[in-house]
Amino acid sequence: MKLNFGILGGGSWGTTVASLLAKNNNTILWARNEDTVNEINTRHMNSKYLPGGELNKNLVASNSIEDTVKNADVIVVGIPSQHFRDALKIAKPYIRPWVPIVSLAKGLELDTKKRMTQIIEEELPGHPAGVLTGPNLAKEIHAGQAAAAVIAMVDDTIAKQLQGSFSTGLFRVYTNDDVIGCELGGALKNILAIASGMGDGANAGDNTRAALITRGLSELTRLGKAMGGKGSTFSGLAGMGDLVATCSSSKSRNYQVGFQLGKGKRLEHIIEEMNEVAEGVKTAKVVMELARDYNVDMPISYEVYKVLYEGNTVYDAFNGLLKIESGSEKEPG
């Protein structure tokens, strides 16, 4: 059965998901930029974020949030986490009751430390809230390369219905009822991707990257479980899968921030030159607060935070990590 999808956000991932959905569903994409809307409707491209790739010809773009969501059976929100709430407030008057809302964002709100589904529940009570997440580098998926993702919702019936809508050939979608764990995996791994990029930028080597990924997964899992996520989630697509992809790929925005830091570039200059948001830069602040709130040790994340916000160098970060006494891998978390 075809569903009507309304997608908010014309960045690389929002556009990629919209194009995938348009293969089997009626899909409208809202983008703020008028040139982007016109290009999608006339040339079936979004050259700013997905250069050289052609979008599904059934995809329609709009500058009107009202037109995008008023007839939607499902709304997908691909807005960066710090603007997520504002977008929902604008869309709220036009959304029909009980329509599921699915987040694509991988971050946490700075002021409240909340996940995106918590924001959905606050702004649109009564609407089933979920997240689509996993090792999903937009440009690879848009180019037709195989990938897997997770649709996480508390209501398994809705998750299974959406699983069929999002799955398209080489894009395989699995279900999960651990919304907390899936969201936290997507948000927390961005900080570790910055750490991995820092190591590569400083020519630390493959062994260092492997150590950062595995010990980073331990950090991610400790905090995720403390906040209510399931341990098994962090060894799956939303945890380990996403972590490996973003810590290893030059296509990852967070990895690229770290890589440039490792080369000695200043953070403000890196951010100025980027087209899209690297969620890990702001999420690092929230994660340090959450680590204190839940009394969870996160040494890698803390060293990244100090590089981003306290003036430490990449070499300070690695020296700091080397000074930490090695414990047992069998320690809790």
pLDDT at 325: 60
Model confidence over 115-134: pLDDT tens digits? 999 999 999 999 999 999 99
Catalytic one of 89, 113, 160, 189: 189
Residue 164's contacts (CB-CB under 8 Å, 6 or more residues apart) are none
CATH architecture of 188-322: Orthogonal Bundle (1.10)
Rounded to 5°, the CA angle 231-243-212 comes to: 95
**189 has binding-site annotation:** yes
Dihedral angle of Cα 298, 302, 303, 307, to the nearest 10 degrees: 160
* Residue 62 marked ligand-binding: no
Which amino acid would we find at residue 192?
L
**How many helices and strands in the chain, by DSSP H and E?**
15, 8
8 A C-beta contact, residue 130 and residue 151: yes
Residue 22 known to bind ligand: no
Residue 189 is a catalytic residue: yes
121 is in an annotated binding site: no
d(CA 27, CA 214): 39
pTM of the model: 0.93
Q: What is the pLDDT of residues 65-81, one digit of tens each?
A: 999 999 999 999 999 99
CA-wise closest residue to 199 among 307, 63, 54: 307
List the domain boundaries for the chain: 4-177, 188-322
Residue type, 112: T
State the fold for domain 4-177: Rossmann fold (3.40.50)
Under the banding of pLDDT at 50, 70 and 90, the label for residue 169 is confident
Per the CB < 8 A criterion, the answer to whether 129 and 101 are in contact is yes
Nearest to 10 by CA among 44, 58, 48: 48
CB hemisphere CA count around 133 (13 angstroms)? 36
